[in-house]
């Protein structure tokens, strides 16, 4: 597996649960990056052409994204931290939340039409098990929509910026080829694979791709939007956005 996240000793599940208990007791508003990823997820949900799908939000934290998704179909939020689930139930009493370790959960089979995973898969030592769970939860033809950090972009950042990006217990950044392999091995076909949020990274080719002068020239000749799309499709965004459809078993 290709992983280029900062090296950290993997904590046990109890230590991870305690971390997220503390993290999600502190309310904060979704920042610009979360908003941009959410827009990408919602665009992908629209593209599935499903009307009021049964959705599951895997690793839902305190439920803010679950609350957004719950406007479009019955949605279950699942989170490791019981404290986060308590907080989510208080904030969004009309929605359903459950506390489970996703890797040991006796999850229902083929119950959902769309599974969402927002910046979660990289927090597993064995991320393929997260893909296996999504396949287990989804009906045939169901969609798995997820975002995760793009290791190529993170590794094009200055070391201090990259290392300070997250304080979470386990980071396991995975390249796109490996993510596609995991999906295909678990009965998915990749329908869309792109990146989100350009402009990060300053080393190697990123020095030129993210140069303000080049972007200004593209806008001047009327190619600003096309250049932006190219940067994302060519893999220069900060995060991957991948949409995969489960094939019939």
Q: Is the pLDDT reported for residue 156 higher than 70? A: yes
Is the separation of the CB atoms in 248 and 145 below 8 Å?
no
Confidence band of 164 (pLDDT split at 50, 70, 90): confident
Residue ranges per domain, the chain? 13-198+236-246
pLDDT digits (tens, 9 = 90+) for 96-140: 999 999 999 999 999 999 999 999 999 999 999 999 999 999 999
Pick the closest to residue 141 from 114, 164, 163 (CA basis).
Answer: 114
Confidence band of 1 (pLDDT split at 50, 70, 90): very low
Confidence band of 11 (pLDDT split at 50, 70, 90): confident
d(CA 210, CA 230): 12
Query: Could you give phi then psi for residue 160, rounded to 5 degrees?
Result: -65, -40
Using the CB atoms, write b or e for 185-201: b if 16+ within 10 Å: ebbbeeeebbbbbbbbb
Instruction: Say if domain 13-198+236-246 classifies as CATH 3.30.565.10.
Output: no
Please report which helix (H) or strand (E) contains residue 193, including its range. strand 188-196
């Amino acid at each position: 597996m290709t992983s280029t996240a900062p090296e950290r000793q993997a904590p046990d599940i109890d230590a991870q649960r305690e971390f997220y208990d503390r993290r999600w007791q502190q309310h904060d508003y979704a920042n610009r990056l979360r908003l941009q990823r959410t827009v990408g997820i919602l665009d992908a949900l629209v593209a599935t052409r499903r009307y009021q799908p049964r959705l599951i939000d895997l690793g839902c934290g305190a439920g803010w994204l679950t609350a957004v998704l719950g406007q479009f179909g019955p949605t279950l939020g699942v989170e490791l931290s019981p404290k986060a689930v308590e907080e989510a139930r208080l904030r969004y009493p009309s929605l359903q939340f459950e506390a489970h370790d996703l890797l040991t959960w006796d999850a229902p089979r083929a119950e959902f039409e769309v599974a969402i995973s927002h910046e979660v898969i990289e927090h597993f030592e064995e991320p393929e098990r997260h893909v296996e769970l999504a396949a287990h939860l989804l009906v045939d033809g169901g969609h798995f929509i997820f975002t995760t950090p793009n290791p190529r972009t993170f590794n094009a950042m200055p070391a201090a910026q990259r290392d300070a990006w997250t304080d979470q217990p386990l980071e396991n950044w995975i390249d796109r080829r490996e993510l596609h392999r995991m999906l295909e091995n678990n009965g998915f076909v990749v329908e869309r694979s792109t990146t989100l949020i350009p402009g990060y990274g300053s080393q190697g080719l990123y020095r030129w791709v993210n140069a303000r002068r080049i972007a200004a020239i593209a806008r001047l000749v009327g190619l600003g939007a096309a250049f932006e799309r190219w940067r994302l499709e060519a893999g220069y965004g900060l995060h991957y956005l991948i949409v995969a459809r489960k094939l019939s078993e």
